[in-house]
Structure 1
Amino acid sequence: MADKSHEGLKWIMRAGYGARGAIYVLLGALTLLAALKSVEAEGTKDALASLRDEPMGVAALWAIGFGLLAYMVWRIVAGVADVEDHGTDGKGLVARAGQITTGVIHGGIGISVFGLAMGGSSGGDSAQDWTQKLMAMPMGRYLVAAGALVLLGAGIYYAYKGWSGKYKEHLRDAALTRKLDPVLTAGLVIYGLLLAVVAFSLGIAALRADPSQAGGLGQALHTIRTMPFGRVLLGITGLGLLGFALYNLVEAAFRVIPRISGPNVKTLAARAMS
């Protein structure tokens, strides 16, 4: 790729991570509000719908939608061109397939954000809707179960990525990234645990052939609130979601792309080893 292509891909990547960061800033703030007041914790779709009613909310939704499409482009290009040097062995191909898959998923979310910006409905639980559609298909229960396993794997991966510090391999060593390191770790671990809760609800739905058992992030947050000391746990979760939002914003500014950034850029992981 030419230098202009490199710079273009960097900005696409930054827009994508920035859009993800904006979504989780909103979700984390609303989760904290739910912990402090007697209001229901909201999922991603409802949180974005609430943004639409705010001043400049529609413009913000369009910006987030385009950012998520940029994230889709970044992940697909990264997977196809292997700009992060995952390689062509079995492990590398799985990682690259995961990049492409997450890109397509975020592209779908981006399109739904455009629908909200144009006044589309925010009602209903999207996880239940999709589960119901899948279960109506041949082998539908098995498809939902497979989706639950994939989501559980993603949750374990995010938690491991945070706990082990593996994310440091892709972050440039800088005073700000060093200072924010503990917050990024907590954000990734809590986000991974939330994905695991969502995966569990999908697994129950598949086991019982009951789409109403499926829930998205909003249902996961509601489950946390119903636990003993639920409001405290929900507050911690809200802070964790803000930490995950910060992780995405830091990625937007400091992510190292091996085939583009070059071999001389020092990462947080390299600093920890030195």
Structure 2
Amino acid sequence: METLARFGYAAKGFVYGAIGILALLAAFSAGGETTDTTGVLHAIAAQPFGKVLLALIAFGLVGYVIWRFVQAINDPQDEGTDAKGIFTRLGHIFSGLTYTGVAVNAGLLAIGSGKASSGGGSSKQDWTAMVMQQPFGRWLVGLAGALAIGLGCWRLYQAYKTKFRKKLNLSELSSQQQDWLVNISRIGIAARGVVFIAVGFFILQAAHQYNPDKVKGLDGILLTFAQQPFGKIFLGLTAAGLVAYAIYLLVQARYQRIKTS
């Protein structure tokens, strides 16, 4: 279980690193693009040995998904059953469900199937439209937006307080190396928080205007950032933050204290 979890963190880190690097290249007009997890999987598939790499990513993400469900159900890290613990464990379930889709897409592309989803943004809009058609659907969409903003703010708080450091075993590193990794991780966690807040803002807009087309995935968020005044600077900073987040995930893969029972 520990091996699967570490491989899972590494696979997720690789995906976010690729997204960040492509966005950085786009910010510097060097041939990159703003994309999300689905888009970057298609980009990897087009590279030499891309299908082999996708198979490894799919396997790693399956490990990540299993680990998230173990965290939610068995609670090996003693999150507890108070409000904070329940919220955290529900977050593990949501994360597991989300990356189940990414793992399936990676696997389908690895075996050369044309059935893999071609875009995350339209899928989110379709789901939003379906929910809006239900009783109280608009309120449910609005609640999802508020939760996304809340999660983003929580990420910013985590980056500020650096409590995540207690879950890392960095004893074999020098104090300077530890500080470097912690500070890079803080930047990455904060960048992820900013993205969550932006996603939540657009979900709230969709609920307010009764327009599911307002919902944006990661690719849409990055493109929106790029279209603002000084957009290339903003996109570059966000992309660098996503690369930092990828480094944080790799740090977790290597140094996270993983308790499995």
2:90 aligned partner: 97
Q: Is the 8 A contact 2:38 2:102 kept in 1?
A: no
1:160 aligns with 2:160: no
Which of 74, 81, 91 is the matching residue for 1:81? Answer: 74
Q: Is the 8 A contact 2:41 2:54 kept in 1?
A: yes
1:11 aligned partner: 3
Superimposed CA distance per residue, residues 151-182 of structure 1 (whole angstroms, 9 cap, x where no aligned partner): 22221222211121021121112314443111
How far is 1:244 from its partner? 0.2
Compare 55-64 and 181-190 and name the one that shifted more.
55-64
Distance 2:160 2:259 in 1: 23
> Where do 1:173-192 residues align within 5 Å?
173-174=170-171, 175=173, 176-192=177-193
AA at the equivalent of 1:18: A
Superimposed CA distance per residue, residues 3-32 of structure 1 (whole angstroms, 9 cap, x where no aligned partner): xxxxxx111111211111011011010010
Q: Is the 8 A contact 1:43 1:217 kept in 2?
A: yes
Which of 18, 26, 34 is the matching residue for 2:18? Answer: 26
Residues 146 and 114 (structure 1), Cα distance of their counterparts in 2 relative to 1, 3 Å cut: farther
How far is 1:112 from its partner? 2.9
1:146 aligned partner: 143
For 1:138, what is the secondary structure of its paired residue? coil
Compare 196-205 and 113-122 and name the one that shifted more.
113-122
For 1:82, what is the secondary structure of its paired residue? coil
Superimposed CA distance per residue, residues 98-146 of structure 1 (whole angstroms, 9 cap, x where no aligned partner): 2223222222322233334323351472322322232233332222222
AA at the equivalent of 2:159: G
Q: Is the 8 A contact 1:195 1:217 kept in 2?
A: no
Superimposed CA distance per residue, residues 12-53 of structure 1 (whole angstroms, 9 cap, x where no aligned partner): 111211111011011010010110117642222212211111
Compare 98-107 and 67-76 and name the one that shifted more.
98-107
Superimposed CA distance per residue, residues 50-106 of structure 1 (whole angstroms, 9 cap, x where no aligned partner): 111111112222222222221111011122221111123332232222222322222
Instruction: Give me the TM-score of the superposition, normalised by structure 2.
Output: 0.89
> Where do 1:213-252 residues align within 5 Å?
213-252=214-253
1:112 aligns with 2:93: no
AA at the equivalent of 2:158: K
Which of 104, 122, 126 is the matching residue for 2:118? Answer: 122
Query: Structure 2 regions of 5+ residues with no counterpart?
Result: none
Query: Structure 1 regions of 5+ residues with no counterpart?
Result: 1-8, 261-274
For 1:184, what is the secondary structure of its paired residue? helix
Q: Figure out how many residues of one structure are paired with residues of the other and give that number.
A: 252
Distance 1:98 1:91 in 2: 11
Distance 1:115 1:207 in 2: 36
Residues 130 and 165 (structure 1), Cα distance of their counterparts in 2 relative to 1, 3 Å cut: same
Q: Is the 8 A contact 1:45 1:122 kept in 2?
A: yes
For 2:188, what is the secondary structure of its paired residue? helix
Distance 2:120 2:252 in 1: 32
- Aligned alpha-carbon RMSD (Å): 1.9
Moved over 6 A (4+): none
Residues 229 and 104 (structure 1), Cα distance of their counterparts in 2 relative to 1, 3 Å cut: same
